[in-house]
């Protein structure tokens, strides 16, 4: 199933995006490893998977469980070995066990540590969850940082309509594995999880800064501290819908 899906999607991705790929020498030639990347758009997983697959690492992604409930799509995901995760719940930890088994089989597991699109207004990585750290420290496998820049030009964050013409350039670069050996076996230690997560995200951000040709902000965006612009936007949309309904009800009463 994985090969069939890849056979369909790779020609489409080549036809719709220009590629600037770097750093493939940092991907392990054998043995399981984690590929950790930044998250900009719904097209990210395709770009990320395309890069890894073409360099000999077919990734198994930790993906939100609702995707597996979608008819046809969910069945394809399962047959292709993707891993469902219930985000923001205690059961999210349970998803790490099949991921760990995939790593033991020598497979690549792809993770977006932020868990969702970055909420930072300028699209730099925001604070991440500890799943990537917990998995890496328990499985004791390399974590390769991978940065992407350009997918947001193909499909904007929260966007639904892709921009395919003219073809946009997507840049992907992998870096050296993040040194975590000194933290192995401490997956239940909150301080070790924070430290490992920060190292991984710092490595991704450093690579992204090179792709963008810009300096990252001194302070990492944190929705707990800085708020969630998406939540504000959704609240504003809900308020506009309520206002429209109220106007419609007023007109209906007046006409009656």
* Model pLDDT for residues 234-248, shown as the tens digit of each residue: 666 667 777 777 777
Q: Per-domain residue ranges for the chain?
A: 2-221, 227-256
Q: CATH assignment of 2-221?
A: 3.40.1130.10
pLDDT, one tens digit per residue, over 76-127 is: 888 888 888 776 556 556 668 888 999 999 999 999 999 889 999 999 999 9
Burial of residue 166, with CB atoms counted within 10 A of its CB: 0-12 exposed, 13-18 middle, 19 or more buried: exposed
Name the residue with tokens 């750093």. 23
Residue 45, C-beta contacts closer than 8 angstroms, at least 6 positions apart: 61, 63, 110
Q: What pLDDT, in 10s, does the model give residues 28-53? A: 999 999 999 999 999 998 999 999 99
């Amino acid at each position: 199933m994985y090969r069939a899906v890849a056979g369909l999607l790779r020609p489409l991705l080549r036809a719709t995006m220009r590629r600037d790929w770097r750093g493939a020498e940092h991907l392990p030639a054998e043995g399981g490893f984690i590929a950790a990347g930044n998250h900009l758009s719904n097209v990210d997983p395709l770009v990320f998977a395309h890069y890894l697959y073409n360099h000999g690492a077919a990734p198994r992604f930790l993906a939100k469980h609702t995707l597996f409930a979608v008819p046809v799509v969910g069945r394809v995901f399962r047959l292709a070995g993707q891993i469902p995760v219930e985000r923001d719940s205690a059961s999210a930890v349970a998803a790490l066990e099949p991921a760990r088994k995939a790593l033991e089989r020598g497979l690549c597991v792809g993770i977006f540590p932020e868990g969702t699109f970055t909420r930072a207004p300028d699209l730099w990585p925001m604070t991440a969850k500890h799943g990537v750290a917990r998995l890496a420290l328990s499985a004791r496998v390399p974590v390769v940082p991978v940065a992407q820049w350009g997918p947001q030009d193909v499909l904007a964050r929260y966007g639904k309509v892709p921009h395919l013409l003219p073809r946009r350039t997507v840049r992907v670069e992998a870096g050296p594995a993040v040194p975590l050996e000194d933290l192995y076996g401490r997956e239940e230690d909150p301080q070790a999880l924070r430290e490992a997560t920060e190292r991984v995200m710092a490595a991704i951000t450093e690579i992204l800064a090179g792709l963008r040709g810009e300096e990252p902000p001194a302070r990492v965006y944190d929705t707990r501290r800085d708020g969630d612009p998406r939540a504000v936007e959704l609240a504003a949309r809900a308020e506009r819908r309520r206002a429209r309904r109220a106007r419609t009800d007023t007109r209906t009463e007046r006409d009656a």
